[in-house]
Amino acid sequence: MANKILSALRQEIGRWTSSMITGTPSGGYGINTFQCSTLADIYSDDFFNDWWLRFYAGTHKDTTKRVTDFADTNGVVTFKSDLATAVDVTDLFELHKDFTPEEINAAINAAITMVENEALQDKVDATLETTADTYEYDIPTGFLFIDQIFQESGTADRYSPTADLIDFKHWRILHGTTPKIWFDNDLVTLTTGRNLRVVGQTVQAQLSLDASTCAIKPSFIVYQAKALLHQSRIRGSGSDFEEHQSQMVMAQTLADKERKTIGVTPRGRKVTY
């Protein structure tokens, strides 16, 4: 199952929840305008007015603006507020109608949080270096569980799966404000200046940039975020209320089905309680 970046997840959700298109500027580059030949003569004047513009790659990636005018001749898009530099050929953009890119991003991150302790991710760190007469070490950030610890062999960055593995019974985790790994100095010989390779599990990090990668099953993230977005629009009564409610129920049903397939069994000792 391939990992997906934030912008790819957002675009898939955008297609499921509202009108959303992607494009590439093709000329007329300015700090608040550009032309897009694929939009020209297809959409009418003012069609994209008040839509949200998101640059998701290129010079202006991770930037959201609001469209103030669209002209069908040459596909001219005008937006506010001004960029620091002019739009250029490297920029790729999305246009969203019903949900802002920030709303969709927030829904994606909320979906991640909902299953972060179920969809555990493998994590390896080899930054700890042993020092003389020291048998307690701060645990590298990000670990939720630790399963194995290896001591570097006589050759730098080499770790034998058997000879360099420190017995699970000979170390434990000291819980507290700053969790530490404690080694039994009667049973473990740590050679000064060698690195420790810590193997365990972590949670999926929140996605802050459009190129940030999510390793959780994309179908769950898409369905769950879609359900959350429609839930946020359930207000009052009438056809709009009913439409969002029915879309939320369908998306949540699919999300619950996908959630059953993403569980990962914890391995080793838990770092914090």
- Residues 106 and 229 reside in one and the same domain: yes
Task: Look at residue 236 in the predicted model and tell me its pLDDT.
Answer: 67
Q: Check whether residue 58 and residue 109 sit in a common domain.
A: no
pLDDT (0 to 100) of residue 237: 67
Q: Are 132 and 193 within one domain?
A: yes
If asked whether residues 1 and 107 sit together in one domain, one would say yes
- Per-residue pLDDT at 243: 86
Query: In terms of domains, do 46 and 12 share one?
Result: no
Burial profile 187-204: b = 16 or more Cβ within 10 angstroms, e = fewer? eeebeeebbbbbbbbbbb
Residue ranges in the chain assigned as alpha helix (H): 6-17, 101-115, 218-232, 239-259
- Which of the four pLDDT bands, split at 50, 70 and 90, describes residue 19? confident
- DSSP class of 10: H
Question: Final residue of a domain: which of 149, 184, 202?
Answer: 202
- Please tell me whether residues 104 and 225 are part of one structural domain: yes
Q: What is the CATH number of the domain that holds 89?
A: 2.40.10
DSSP state of 191: P
- Which residue range is the domain that position 214 belongs to? 1-17+99-119+207-273
Q: Which of 58, 60, 80 is nearest to 69 (CA)?
A: 80
Return the percentage of the chain with pLDDT > 90, whole number. 89
Task: For residue range 72-84, list pLDDT tens digits in order.
Answer: 999 999 999 999 9
pLDDT tens digits, residue range 158-169?
999 999 999 999
User: Is the predicted pLDDT of residue 92 greater than 90, yes or no?
Assistant: yes
The pLDDT value given to residue 136 = 97
Looking at the fold, whether 186 and 167 belong to one and the same domain comes out as yes
CA atoms of 81 and 63, how far apart (whole Å): 11
Q: Which residue has the tokens 């879609």?
A: 226
- On whether both 91 and 108 belong to a single domain, the answer is no
Total domains present in the chain? 3
**Over pLDDT 70: what percentage of the chain?**
98
Looking at per-residue pLDDT, the higher value among 272 and 130 belongs to: 130
**110/178 same-domain check:** no
Q: Both 27 and 75 in a single domain?
A: yes
Mean pLDDT for all residues in the chain: 95
Q: Is the pLDDT of residue 241 over 80?
A: no
**Of 157, 180, 202, which residue sits at a domain end?**
202
Question: Do residues 158 and 142 share a domain?
Answer: yes
Residue 1 has pLDDT above 60, yes or no: no
Q: Which of residues 167, 202, 237 is at a domain's end? A: 202
Count the helices and strands in the chain (H runs, E runs).
4, 15
Q: Is the pLDDT of residue 53 over 90?
A: yes
Facing residues of 52 across strands? 66, 96
> Token digits for 44?
């009418």
pTM: 0.89
Tokens of 266: 């914890």
Together in a domain, 1 and 33:
no
Show Cβ contacts of residue 37 under 8 Å, excluding neighbours closer than 6 positions: 26, 27, 74, 75
